[in-house]
Every structure is written in C-alpha cells, then in structure tokens.
Amino acid sequence: MSAHHATTAEPPGSLQGVRIADFSRVLAGPYATMLLADLGAEVVKVERPGAGDETRAWRPPADAAGTSTYFLAVNRNKRSVALDLATDEGRARARTLVAGCDVVVENFRPGTMRKLGLGAEDLLTEHPRLVYCSITGFGPDAGAGLPGYDLLVQAVGGLMSVTGEPGGPPVKAGVALVDVVTGLHASLGILAALRHRDRTGEGQLVEVSLLGSLLSALVNQASGYVAGGVVPGRLGNAHPSIAPYETFETADRPLALAIGNDRQFAALTTLLGRPELADDPRFRTNPDRVAHRLELRAVLEKELRAGTADHWAAVLSAAGVPAGPVNGIDDAFAYAERLGLRAVVDLDGVPQVANPIRLGATPARYRLPPPGLGEHTPEIFHPGEGDST
C-alpha cells in the first residue's frame, strides 16, 4: 500500500469561507465535519480539557506515536480547542467562537446544549444566519433520553434482523455503519441549509437522528415493508430480490457474484461450461432464479469449486460478469490502488483514507493532521491566554 502525499498547491476548496464550530464527538458528527473540512470549510473542534473526544482513548489499535487510529479516522483538517463548558468562562468562549461561525454541529443528548445556553433556539435568535445541526440517537421528542450508540440503533432499527445467516443469530455490521450514514445525512443537511442561507440570508436548525438515518438507509428492505407489508429476515449474503447475488465457495476462498440481469446470467453459465442453465425453466428469468435460489446455488458452486476465486474473478470480470473475491481490508486497499483510486494520502506523516468525492475544479484538500487536544486554543482565543479552560 502506498500513500500519496498531500500538496499545498491545490486550489481552494468549494467551502472556503465556511467556518464550523464542532461540538460533536465520537463518529457521526466528526465524520460529517471532516468531510466538510476536506472540501474547504474551517472546522474548530471543541473538546473537554484533559480528556477530549472519547475516541482519543479508544485503542488499540494505535499508530506508531500511540494515537488512537479511531480518532485519526475522522478528525483531520480540524483545529482543536479545549473548553470546559461547565464553567462560565468556557461557555463564554464557546459563544464567542459561535459568533464567528456559519455552522454549529453538536451531538449531545437533547437538551444538553440548551442547558449550557448554547441551544439552537438561543443561538439562532442571536445569530439569524447560523446553521445549527443537531445529531441525536432517537430524535428530540419521546426518544430524547435514549443513548445513541450505533450497536443499539442497529439492533432496534432492524438492521441486525436482516444481517446474518438464516436461522442464525442477528449480526451487526462490521463497522459503525449507522454513525457513518448519519454523518453523511448531516453533511448533506448542512450543505442544503447553507445554500438556503446564502440565497435568503436565513439560517435554520438541521436535525438528524441515527434511527431516522438507518430507516432511510434500509432502502429496499424498508420499502418492502412500508409498501408491500413484507417483514424480511436474514438471508446471509443472499439478496431478497436478485439471484445469484451472494458469495460462493471456490477452490480457495469465497467469491461474490452480483448478477443483475439475464444477459449476465447467460454469460456466467457459458463461462462455467453450463450454458443450458440459462434456458432451464427454473433459472430462465430473475424471478425464476429467486424462487429456486438453493438449487441454483448448488449447481453454480459445484462448478466454481473447480477454480480459485482470483481465477474466476479475472475470467468473469473480463466478460462483463460482476464478480470478485472476498478481500481482507489489506487486499481491498491494494485493489483500490491498482485501480488508480488513490485511496490513501499521507498528511504530515499520518496516513489517512482519502475523501472519496472527486471534484474537478475544487478537489478535497488535506491541510492539517488530526489535532492534539487543545492544540489550537491559544491561536483561536488570542495568543497568550493559555489552553486550560
């Protein structure tokens, strides 16, 4: 894996001139603000003195300097200030910071920022052009008191009910996927609110919840329920509406096949030496294949076991049949590199996963490595004032 070094010769970002006061911690909020920072926004991360963002202590793993790689994942391009919001001085400094910002992002439990005098109602009254983004677990109403942890939302939000093998226990996704999806929704909401603000001069409250974001992200599974009354179950790696669309055993490791239409299925059967399967009444159309999924799987897997996953991936991909081995994360990055995706950048010696958004005129920029706790307090609140409050 190679890292591509960030340069300083890039043009200014699309969001240059947008300043964000980021009171969020852990993942959903910091992921959203990092994406916006990559695109040119100035982000000031507000942290608790002495402890900071909880993910600073979430290790192993850590990099060579002992810094939590979890924290490194979502906090580049930010400056950190340490403010004790339990003190009058800390709250006063926070209000001073907000006064010079376009956006506030927070993910405290509902009501916490209001008690600190930093709630949306107060700040929007004082600063009518402000965009105030509040990220919660379950919304500000009946779910306000519930803790917003990704695992909990995956459980109660239905994701675990459709993840795992048939007849087996429910399984969570291998990453905090709900937090990531929520961060994407938050950044989209902020951008929409900024567009409205720039057009009308009017700021607004943006509210995003983990549960609401997950229900939206369930897409076809959610639509199958709300529009069709179907409550789906666990299918392992299979798809409820497409076949073959799952993983198959080969001579060495699993291979994913993602057959989306009859033409691809015919090409698959020809390459496997079984062209007659495309005309088999059980497999002729996608609904036929879904109805006879287990029979189809047995036939295909028998043929696939004759070669390795890499062999079949190469042969099938060359013929336009979607196929690929189940990679480890190390192989996934190597694969992206071979495809020219430049998935890793080096930011002052800190390897970072690149922003996946490619913009022709205003590309993502990598200006600052993830900050030390309170590293920028003096420069934000005037040199010489110290960084202990």
Cα separation, 169 vs 124, whole angstroms:
46
- Nearest to 241, CA basis, from 272, 226, 219: 219
Give how far the C-alpha of residue 169 lies from the chain's centroid of Cα atoms, to the nearest Å: 25
Sheet holding 4-5, edge to edge: 4-5, 344-347, 350-353
CA distance to 37, 58, 117, 259, 373, per residue, from 349 (Å) = 19, 21, 39, 42, 18
Report the 10 Å Cβ neighbour count for 357.
Answer: 11
Let me know: does 162 contact 217? Beta carbons within 8 Å: no
Q: Which residues are catalytic?
A: 179
Cα separation, 204 vs 177, whole angstroms:
27
Spatial neighbors of 73 by CB under 8 A, at least 6 apart, are 353
Cα separation, 335 vs 327, whole angstroms:
9
- Nearest to 344, CA basis, from 367, 366, 328: 366
On the CB side of 208, how many CA atoms lie within 13 Å of its CA?
29
